[in-house]
Structure 1
Amino acid sequence: MNILSGLSYEQIYVINSIKKICILKNIDAYIVGGAVRDALLNAKVRDIDICVTKDPKLIVESLEEIKEFKYYSEFQTASVEFKRGVSIDIIRCRREFYPEYGTLPKIIPSDINHDLFRRDFTINALAYDLKYYKLIDLYGGIGDIKNKLIRKIHSNSYEEDPTRVFRAIKYSIRYKFLLYDRDEIISCASKGIFKTISNDRIAKEISLLCTEKNWKDAFLLFARLNIFDLNCNLIGKSNPVVNYDHVNIRLLNLFYSFKDKRDADILVDNSIMDSDLKKSMMQLKNIDVENFLKETIDNYEIFRQLKNMSRYELAYLSWNFKLTYKIYNYIYNLKDCILCINGNKVKDFGIKDGKSVGSILRYIKKLKLNTGIEKDLNRRDIQNALEYKDRKF
């Protein structure tokens, strides 16, 4: 089978350019992993990785039409962006071994057989030999694609690298494949394997899952596989305030759904996620959502309590049905309330003290928010405002 038939003209042109150089320099070259998998699934090929049996620098130095490239010496990997709008990673075939479970692997240059063995799942341990136009399937990946299974390659796979659990979930929800290793994943989660890796690595995998079309299914699998203790009724919970198109809102929804706040700390204590989102999560940890604004019906009080909150904090609060309307009311009716008068107009009545001017303006704003009417400023309003200036407006 020629998997190149499903690629674009530009992709095929670039691959053939790499192939020609490899043949001239006696380098074996293989398209590997996701590109082969997606071609077999007749799905759009997202990323193209080419494994080679010598240092990729030997290939890159002879390539033309390169727009930009980065070389990672530790892994002998080159990420190449071409002027034709095609990006390809050229990777040296390698073996991997883990000094300890959860650590990043040590790398040893090797051949295609060892390279396929180091991969996470059988459906990703596929290679296409560019020289001989043939598929290499050492671990039954083609059969697992036909049977719609996500299956690990070797023993201790999830203990070696617990992030593989998240990737198993990703492929399961993306392609609607069954998790062959479901029971083993549940067992590994109960043993606490995620404690062997950093919050950064976990947060990165969760963030990637949130970019998937079926992200809600990923969260539900978190619960079913005992990875996190979640309130599944809150996952993807709809209300008129929240739009789930943004990845950060999906992450916030996961944060809201955690039953165990120690799990929630993973989304806060990392260097991966958006800083504004993490800051909002920190603020939300100190809010008693059930009682926040519970008895408040005064529009000005709602405005006063919410005016300094971020959009993430507002979205979080809106998932509580007792607060949904109040948050909606604030965003669409109260938030952008602007007075026709300003401090200079107040001063025209002889009020010079800055605090008094502020109290009067807040009093007028309270009247407008609670009645919907803003009348011309008069001395009676000023008197009323000054009588109540010690109250919180």
Structure 2
Amino acid sequence: MEISKSFGCGEMEIINEVGEVCRHRDIKSYIVGGAVRDAILGNRVKDIDICLEEDPKIILDDLWGLKYCQYHSEFQTAFLTFENGVSIDLIRCRKEHYCRDGALPSVSPSHIYGDLYRRDFTVNALAYDMEKGYIIDIYGGMKDLRDKVLRKIHPGSYNEDPTRIFRAVKYAVRYGLKLEDEDEIEKCVCGGAFDLVSNDRIVKEIYLLCCEKKWRENIYLCSDLKIFDVDKCLLEMEFEGEDHSDNVDLKILRLLYCLRDKKYSSVLAENSVLNKKLKSAAVWFNENFEKTANLIMNTMDNYKLYMILNHKNDYELVLLSWNSKLSFKICNYIYNLKGYKPSLNGRYIISMGVKDGKSIGKILKNITGIELNSGIKCGQKYLAEYLGENM
């Protein structure tokens, strides 16, 4: 089967160059995985992975137009960018061994068949022989694509690497495939498979789910598979001015807000994958959201509202705004109170003869309260009256 129609001209230029260098050095080379899958489906290929049955390092000097190379000796992989703008990954064919379920695998060099066996699903265990021009399909991946089925390759696959469950969700939703292994996945999840996996690995997969166009469908399926429990009505709800089109952080926040599962709320707060601002919001949400919400609910005073919200970051404000009982007050804070500065500062008050620190603090507090609640800048008038009372 010819797959070149799914690649652009620049991509085919690089693929042909790599193939020619490998033929010259008598190295077997294969386009593998998602690139072959998407080409069979007639989709535009996004990522090009080429597996070699040798260390890619030995051909790097022979490649014309190579602009950038990042080589990893541990796994014998290389990420390459060429002058025509095309990027590819060169990967040594390898097999994997798991010393225990949930652990990261140890790897060793292999031929293409060992490399295909280590992959997650039949539809991803496809390789295109770049020299002979045919597809290697030893697990029935092409038939599964035609039948719109997603299934694992070998027994114990989900236990040895539970993150494959998240990838099963992603591919099933993205390509409209039926999960052949649904019962096995649920059994694996309920058996505590994810307890053996680090928070970082779990959050990385959740982040990738939220990068997908059908990110909500991914979360729904995770909930159906009992990975975590979410309030689907809250997840589906749209809020005024909200745009999730390309903001993955907002999608992660929405998942956090809709979770009924404290375990995964903690996972989203305790990891090194998400950015600092997002993690800070997750920690605050888990520990202080309800307390803060109650304080806001019980205040009708702009000054008190300002004092409650003044040090909240943007993500914390977003989480509060999703509570329908608070949304008006959060909008009031954002559009009318946030960024407020009193009309007087400490230096001006000192210049007017007030030296005592407690008095200065009291004046600033009172000015802030009056100005926030009235909307009128009245600092000088207040100070004149204050000084008159204390003369």
Q: Report the TM-score, using the length of structure 2 for normalisation.
A: 0.92
Question: Does 1:199 find its partner at 2:199?
Answer: yes
Distance 1:122 1:385, change over 3 A: farther
SS at match of 2:294: coil
Greater share of residues in helix: 2
Q: What is the identity, as a one-letter code, of the residue corresponding to 1:110? A: S
Question: Does 1:312 find its partner at 2:349?
Answer: no
Cα distance between partner residues in 2 of 1:348 and 1:72: 64
Between 1:186-195 and 1:289-298, the stretch displaced more is: 289-298
Match of 2:256 in 1: 255
Match of 2:109 in 1: 109
Cα distance between partner residues in 2 of 1:295 and 1:28: 71
Match of 2:365 in 1: 362
Cα distance between partner residues in 2 of 1:69 and 1:380: 66
Contact 2:342 2:379 (C-alpha < 8 Å) held by counterparts: no
Q: Deviations over 1:56-85 (max 9, x none)?
A: 112213112212212222222122121221
Cα distance between partner residues in 2 of 1:275 and 1:379: 41
Contact 1:30 1:128 (C-alpha < 8 Å) held by counterparts: yes
Question: Does 1:373 find its partner at 2:373?
Answer: no
Question: How large is the RMSD of aligned CA atoms in angstroms?
Answer: 2.2
Cα distance between partner residues in 2 of 1:60 and 1:124: 26
Q: What is the identity, as a one-letter code, of the residue corresponding to 1:116? A: L
Match of 1:148 in 2: 148
Q: What is the identity, as a one-letter code, of the residue corresponding to 1:199? A: N
Percent of counterpart pairs with the same letter?
A: 44
Q: Deviations over 1:201-227 (max 9, x none)?
A: 111111111111111111111211000
Match of 2:324 in 1: 321
Q: What is the identity, as a one-letter code, of the residue corresponding to 1:371? A: S
Distance 1:380 1:63, change over 3 A: closer
Distance 1:253 1:385, change over 3 A: farther
Aligned-residue offset at 1:239? 2.5
Match of 2:80 in 1: 80
Give ranges in structure 2 of 5+ residues lacking alignment: none
Q: What is the identity, as a one-letter code, of the residue corresponding to 1:273? A: L
Q: How does 1:1-393 map to 2 (within 5 A)?
A: 1-240=1-240, 242-244=242-244, 245-289=246-290, 290-347=293-350, 349-375=352-378, 377-378=380-381, 382-383=385-386
Contact 1:303 1:335 (C-alpha < 8 Å) held by counterparts: yes
SS at match of 1:47: coil
Aligned-residue offset at 1:113? 1.7
Aligned-residue offset at 1:186? 0.9
Cα distance between partner residues in 1 of 2:64 and 2:131: 20
Between 1:342-351 and 1:144-153, the stretch displaced more is: 342-351
Distance 1:82 1:379, change over 3 A: closer
Distance 1:383 1:51, change over 3 A: same
Between 1:306-315 and 1:88-97, the stretch displaced more is: 88-97
Cα distance between partner residues in 2 of 1:386 and 1:189: 71
Cα distance between partner residues in 2 of 1:310 and 1:381: 36
Cα distance between partner residues in 2 of 1:350 and 1:75: 72
Distance 1:350 1:208, change over 3 A: same
SS at match of 2:211: coil
Between 1:348-357 and 1:76-85, the stretch displaced more is: 348-357
Aligned-residue offset at 1:234? 2.2
SS at match of 1:230: coil
Contact 1:356 1:386 (C-alpha < 8 Å) held by counterparts: no
Aligned length in residues: 387
Q: What is the identity, as a one-letter code, of the residue corresponding to 2:161? A: D
Between 1:360-369 and 1:13-22, the stretch displaced more is: 360-369
SS at match of 2:71: strand
Q: Deviations over 1:121-173 (max 9, x none)?
A: 11111111111111121112112222222211111110111010011111122
Cα distance between partner residues in 1 of 2:388 and 2:238: 41
Contact 1:75 1:107 (C-alpha < 8 Å) held by counterparts: yes
Contact 1:159 1:188 (C-alpha < 8 Å) held by counterparts: yes
Q: Report the TM-score, using the length of structure 1 for normalisation.
A: 0.92
Cα distance between partner residues in 2 of 1:265 and 1:206: 13
Contact 1:360 1:382 (C-alpha < 8 Å) held by counterparts: no
Q: Deviations over 1:315-359 (max 9, x none)?
A: 112222211111111111211334444445444543333432333
Cα distance between partner residues in 2 of 1:96 and 1:374: 69
Q: Deviations over 1:88-124 (max 9, x none)?
A: 1111222222121111222232221221121111111
Distance 1:91 1:360, change over 3 A: same
